[in-house]
Structure 1
Amino acid sequence: MLLGKLLPREGKFFELFNQHAERIVEAARAFQQLVDNYSDPKLRDQYTRAVDNAEHAADRLTHEVNRMIHRGANPPLERDQIHKLINTMDDVADLLQDSAETMALYDLRAVNDEIRRLTDLSVKCCERLKDAVALIGRLSDGPTAEAALKTCEEIDQLESDADRVMRSAMSRLFREEPDVREVLKLKAVYELLESVTDKCEDVANLIEGIVLRHA
């Protein structure tokens, strides 16, 4: 059965997916503000809380989707697809929260250009993820399915860009940073931010699978 025919009756799932994607973008943009204002302790705390709030809201949406699945709701996609999609999306929000918490717990001295570049790529990935998620309720339309696949390809490219930035950042870190403690702190932050883009790519791969199966 085409997804477009299912949407009026079972659109609640798609609505929750979209709301979750919006919370991911909210968390990503709050994290970017945290990075941009890192030298101001008051703003740093404010934006860390904003990331936390967005992640908690995403958690609630994840629980609602999983509750609907287990309650026996008739979903528009296979239950396993829905479960993997919403939980992988939630991993993105979790990693953004982990990144903010790690910077606070490790008392990172300052952010550098590598963190800013990885943050920018993470935000772009999250924004494109939101665009892709918004399309999965209308995959019976050929151009929409093609647009979803194109958006997923863009996420893949952004993840590749983040990989390159990560490799360069690690090389520079181990060559130029004399403080071992700072090396460990920055390495942890780099890895978490690169993981955000990795997880966005995982979501994109799931969406590609949904497109190919249902379009």
Structure 2
Amino acid sequence: MLFFSRSKDSVFYQTLVEAASNIVEATQLFRQNVETLEHKEEYAEKLKELENKGDEYTHILLHELNQTFITPMDREDILQLAVKLDDVLDGVEACASRIVYCHVEKTTPYLMQFAEILERSAEFLQESFIALEKRDFTSIRKHSVEINLLENQADRLMRESVGSLFEEPKDPIELIKMKELYEKLEGVSDTTEDLANVLESVVMKYA
């Protein structure tokens, strides 16, 4: 099977790149948000708009799958990529919403570190999908390694951040909401790694 060789294929890879770029924008906004949390409601609204935009990209991919007889990759691979892209974006938006409805008023160094990890991971994802268009499979593998390393950092950060909550007496409500937020952020990093793993499986299949 030819890989991204027909003119019709451009709809698929362009949409994947745009969906990944949308995630980069979302993680940038999230990082800006947690710098101070002074305008968390406004950021949550902006992230909700990006989530809706991400849903549109998913709809385009699913529509094209239904309308296209011969696809550039296996349908299951395209579907997995679409679903995982949507999951990553949903996770970022959910964290921003949680900050609002849980009334998280003060940022922490841990929130900033999580935000930076997610932003860097999103940038590697974007580069991976650009490389996919160019059939640059070596770059995709390199980006996947970087994303895996960032996920390991997020895992360690989650243990450290949650552990810090129990080091001295705190308001139990504050402890619960921050613990859930840190765990949710680590979960987004897990999903990003899952997406990178799907990309790697595609490379193994078509390289």
The correspondence of residues 1-215 of structure 1 with structure 2, limited to 5 A, is 1-6=1-6, 8-38=7-37, 40=38, 43-139=39-135, 144-215=136-207
Deviation per residue, 1:145-198 (Å, 9 max, x gap): 111100111000000011111111111112235111011110111011111111
1:11-55, CA deviations, whole angstroms, 9 ceiling, x for partnerless residues?
1100000110011111111111111131x2xx3222221111111
Aligned partners of 2:12 and 2:168: how far apart in 1?
A: 49
Task: Please give the secondary structure, in 2, of the residue aligned with 1:88.
Answer: helix
User: 1:197 & 1:70 partners in 2: Cα distance?
Assistant: 30
Q: Percent identity?
A: 28
Secondary structure, in 3 states, of the residue corresponding to 2:105? coil
Q: Name stretches of at least 5 consecutive residues in structure 1 with no aligned partner.
A: none
Structure 1 pair 146–177 and aligned structure 2 pair: CA distance change class (3 A) = farther
Q: Is the 8 A contact 1:18 1:130 kept in 2?
A: yes
Output the TM-score relative to the length of structure 2.
0.95
Count of aligned pairs between the two proteins: 207
Q: TM-score, length-normalised on structure 1?
A: 0.92
Q: Secondary structure at the match of 1:163?
A: helix
Q: Deviations over 1:49-72 (max 9, x none)?
A: 111111110011101111211234
Contact 2:118 2:189 in 1 (8 A): yes
Distance 1:177 1:45 in 2: 29
The separation in 2 between residues aligned to 1:172 and 1:36, in whole angstroms, is 20
C-alpha distance after superposition, 1:79-138 (max 9, x if no partner):
000001111110000000100010101111311111111111111111111111111122
| AA partner of residue 151 (structure 1) | H
Measured after TM superposition, the shift of residue 73 of structure 1 is 4.4
Deviation track 1:192-215 (CA, whole Å, cap 9, x = no partner) reads 111111111011000000101101
State how far apart, in whole Å, the 2-side matches of 1:201 and 1:186 are: 23
What is the distance in 1 between the residues matched to 2:35 and 2:51? Answer: 20
2:45 is aligned with what amino acid?
R
Q: What value does the CA root-mean-square deviation take over the aligned residues?
A: 1.3
The residue type paired with residue 134 of structure 1 is I
* 8 Å CA contact 2:4, 2:72 repeated in 1: no
